[in-house]
Amino acid sequence: MHELSLVQSVLDASLDEARKAGNKRIRKIHARLRESGHPMDADSLQTLLETIAKGTAAEGAAMEIELISPTLRCRECDFTFPAQGSTLVCPRCRSGKLEEIDAEEIDLECSFVE
Ligand SMILES: [Zn+2]
């Protein structure tokens, strides 16, 4: 299940940050995920994250998941643009040779309980 592995990596990265910050409890997690392949639902990802965070330093933390469009790059003219819906051609040269960049990147911001 793709969603689960995604929120698992969000949680792992957050717990890592908490450890580096001196084993703090996490107060808030804000994750920006690139929507890749199939559409996802931010609310259900949030719920999933809350569920798997139980028993960790992130239990009870405020979860905020934001989904952003993946960036596409045209292999013909090197133009990059955010994917919108099911964009299948390059808006500049109309080529269909597109590739996703930064597909699995997660931007994460955590704040900790002082
Ligand atoms: Zn192009």
Q: Report the separation in Å between the CA atom of 90 and the middle of ligand 1, taken as the mean of its atom positions.
A: 5
**Rg of the chain, C-alpha, whole Å:** 17
Q: Report the separation in Å between the CA atom of 2 and the middle of ligand 1, taken as the mean of its atom positions.
A: 30
Dihedral (CA of 48, 50, 51, 56) sign: positive
Q: Report the separation in Å between the CA atom of 96 and the middle of ligand 1, taken as the mean of its atom positions.
A: 8
Is the pLDDT confidence value at 3 over 90?
no
Model's pTM, two decimal places?
Answer: 0.75
> Pick the residue with more confidence: 26 or 40?
26
Q: Tokens 């698992």 — which residue?
A: 8
Q: Tokens 């969603």 — which residue?
A: 3
Confidence of residue 50 (pLDDT cuts 50, 70, 90): very high
- Three-state secondary structure call for residue 8: helix
> Pick the residue with more confidence: 65 or 82?
65
The predicted pLDDT at position 106 comes to 79
All domains of the chain in start order, with CATH: 2-69+103-112 (3.30.2320.50)
The predicted pLDDT at position 63 comes to 94
The predicted pLDDT at position 101 comes to 82
The predicted pLDDT at position 71 comes to 85
Residues with Cβ–ion distance below 5 A, ligand 1: 74, 76-77, 79, 90, 92-93, 95
For the chain, give the percent of residues with pLDDT over 90. 63
Q: Report the separation in Å between the CA atom of 107 and the middle of ligand 1, taken as the mean of its atom positions.
A: 27
